[in-house]
Chains A and B, each alone.
Chain A
Amino acid sequence: MRDNLVETLFSLLTSADHAEAIAGDLIQERQHRGSRWFWWHAFATAVALWASAVARAPLRTLLVAAGGFALFAVPMVAGVAAVSLFPTLFNALVAWSLLAIIWWGGALWTGASVAALAPTRGMTACVTLVVLGEALLLSLWVAGVPLDLLRVTTGLVYTTAGGAACPLLLGAAVGRRHA
């Protein structure tokens, strides 16, 4: 199960053959080096594969990532509008649920669309978008920028926005498989 997870992770960033061989090499070495070594290098290898893919075509990757951001802006604005336009209609829980459904659903759709529209660069672009997005959120949080939306608190908005990374990558993985 865990080995398949690692192979699947690699297959999102390189060809299926290469992913199988890299996962096999790490599994073979795990027998001598242990699980901690295996997981650290599985993560580090995934990062290296992503960085290498970005370095091969940085401009194209950034353009696809920008396209993905433009796609995600639609559900992002829709979520804010849904929560802000009718403040008296929803209580805090309903407002947050609505925001989460729209943002996470939008992230899933964005990831799948980007990976389907750009099969070679889509996954790399989605990971780039996640890295840039999380870095932006982190810097806003460190700077203490309030992002509360009437009934949804700043902490929940940050968490919901940060959590959109998972459905975005999941959508990209699904889109890549079907592309």
Chain B
Amino acid sequence: MIALVALRWHLNYNAVQMAAPINLGEFEQLILLAILRLRDDAYGVTIRAELAGRAGRRVAPGALYTTLERLETKGLISSHMSDPTPQRGGRAKRHVAVTAAGTKALRRSMQAYERLLDGLDLLRGVHA
């Protein structure tokens, strides 16, 4: 009986999880945007440089790698290893790319911002 209830709860939980849209945190949005901008050259070092250069965010490597791992687990990015290079002590780069699900989640977040910003004129410094 308990096993049946647990199984039913598990199936319901999975169904809800599958149906629910993925909400992105602010840091996740920034990382996905940086990856999109970098195209084929997106890996740890370049993503951190892009975030520092364009968003003014100095991100600790640990925070970036754990977030990349979480995004990959959610299916929002994919990764592949490149060939090893000498300036990295013969170690390969882990290149990342935004998946279709990642693009969809990011678009959803951006549209929400757009709707909220509509009529505010906030970006031009004038609050309507």
Contacts and interface: CB of A to CB of B under 8 A. Distances in A.
A21 B91 contact: yes
A41 interface: yes
A24 B91 contact: yes
Contacts, number: 74
B89 interface: yes
A14 B94 CA distance: 14
A contacts with B: majority SS: helix
A44 B66 CA distance: 12
B89 to A, nearest CB: 5
B92 A25 contact: no
Interface stretch (B23-31, B34-42, B56-64, B118-126): B56-64
Nearest to A22: B65
Contact of A41 (B61, B87, B94): B61
Contacts of A18: 65, 69, 94
B26 to A, nearest CB: 18
Contacts of B88: 24-25, 27-28
Interface string A4-15: 000100000010
A86 B88 CA distance: 57
A37 to B, nearest CB: 10
B60 A25 contact: no
A52 B84 CA distance: 27
B47 to A, nearest CB: 10
A22 B65 CA distance: 8
Contacts of A26: 61
Contact of A21 (B43, B60, B62, B70): B43
A32 to B, nearest CB: 10
Interface string B79-118: 0010011011101111000000000000000000000000
B61 A24 contact: no
Contact of A44 (B62, B69, B84, B92): B62
A44 B60 contact: yes
Nearest to A46: B62
A8 to B, nearest CB: 13
Contacts of A7: 91
A22 B60 contact: no
- In the A-B complex, the 8 residue pairs with the smallest Cβ-Cβ separation, listed nearest first, are A48-B62, A24-B91, A21-B94, A24-B88, A25-B44, A52-B66, A45-B62, A27-B89
Interface of B: 43-45, 60-63, 65-66, 69-70, 81, 84-85, 87-89, 91-94
Interface of A: 3, 7, 14, 17-18, 20-29, 31, 41, 44-49, 51-52
18 contacts: A14-B69, A17-B92, A20-B94, A21-B43, A21-B91, A21-B94, A22-B44, A24-B89, A24-B92, A24-B93, A25-B43, A27-B89, A27-B91, A28-B45, A44-B62, A46-B62, A49-B65, A52-B70
